[in-house]
Amino acid sequence: MKNELIRLIESNIGHYLNEIQLAQLNECLKSILNEFEVFKKDNILSADESKENRELLVSFLSAKQIEGCSEKTIDYYRNMISRMLRSVNLKIESITTDDLRKYLADYKNQSNASKSTIDNIRRVLSSFFSWLEDEGYISKNPVRRIHRIKTKRVVKEVLSDENFEVLRDKCDNIRDLAMIELLASTGIRVGELVNLNIDDILFSERECVVLGKGDSERIVYFDAKTKIHLQKYLESRNDDNPALFVSLRKPHNRLGIPGVEKRMRKLGNEAKIKKIHPHKFRRTMATNAIDKGMPIEQVQRLLGHVQIDTTMQYAMVNQNNVKISHRKFIG
């Protein structure tokens, strides 16, 4: 309670003090309040305070929308931050680091969430409070002293050449074959795949333009085998839908993400290969590209990653090649 009171005082006059003066004020308040018992009269937000919290959240989400965040990302931010505000039940400017630490600990215990999930929530809250600080709504981001939560790095599986050949054999139609070839060759996201139109494909250059996260366009490339399968698939169609991939049955609607995922699971089950999903083709492409010597910056460009650290998480260098390189360069 005392820390909350100090925090509230600092947030109200912090704009008028420099860092040294603010630190002196903090020490002075701690010393004085140490002689008193402090109680909060009412821990329930008033209607006006609750409205103010909601308005700040809306402003933050609007800023994220302008920055190019997808609707899915914005919904995730809205849900995570709203849940925190309901649980903490304080004015935003009064929320302290201790409040947020307790919230994250309670969330983990109550939902049995993984460390990765808790760290994702921490990052969302950090983004929110950093924006509030930058915009002058609060004097200091209370998440700043909550460090990144260390998680165990799991080496995720990729498709072997043998696995991919079996999947090819299990394709009973040219559409599915063209689809897995395009996923494997380009490494595009499933959301990017289903948004592709026929006009986006430039067969002469074996490339296509995809719309990635944040509405950013990029060019990706496919191999000769993919080109042949795509052309055969398009020649087999008798509909006028502009979408690159459509349902097999009439009225031949554009294929959606659930439809692609369902087909991948079906192929995996028939091939008796576990965990076949669109993203596995993306990870496999990145891993193979780096394994064969493609510069990580070029892989990053192909995958459409803003941060190169994200690319490194997708790529798993072949351990046998590490062994060979060790012998070559180190002995």
Quote the tokens at residue 215.
Answer: 């509405």
Predicted pLDDT at 326: 62
pTM recorded for the entire structure: 0.65
Predicted pLDDT at 153: 64
Half-sphere exposure of 135 (CA within 13 A, CB side): 13
Half-sphere exposure of 62 (CA within 13 A, CB side): 7
DSSP classification of residue 136:
T
Rounded to whole angstroms, the Cα distance separating 159 from 174 reads 21
Domains in the chain, CATH or no CATH each: 42-134 (1.10.150), 161-328 (1.10.443.10)
DSSP classification of residue 254:
B
**How many C-beta atoms lie closer than 10 Å to residue 90's C-beta?**
20
Quote the tokens at residue 160.
Answer: 């072997």
Q: What is the mean pLDDT of the chain?
A: 87
* Low-confidence winner among 5-19, 110-124, 258-272 (lowest mean pLDDT): 5-19
Rounded to whole angstroms, the Cα distance separating 139 from 11 reads 5
For the chain, give the percent of residues with pLDDT over 70: 89
**How large is the angle between the packed helices 174-186 and 224-236, nearest 10 degrees?**
150
Q: How far apart are the first and last CA of the chain?
A: 62
Kindly provide the residue ranges of all beta strands, DSSP E only, lying in 24-145, ordered along the sequence: none
Rounded to whole angstroms, the Cα distance separating 280 from 183 reads 9
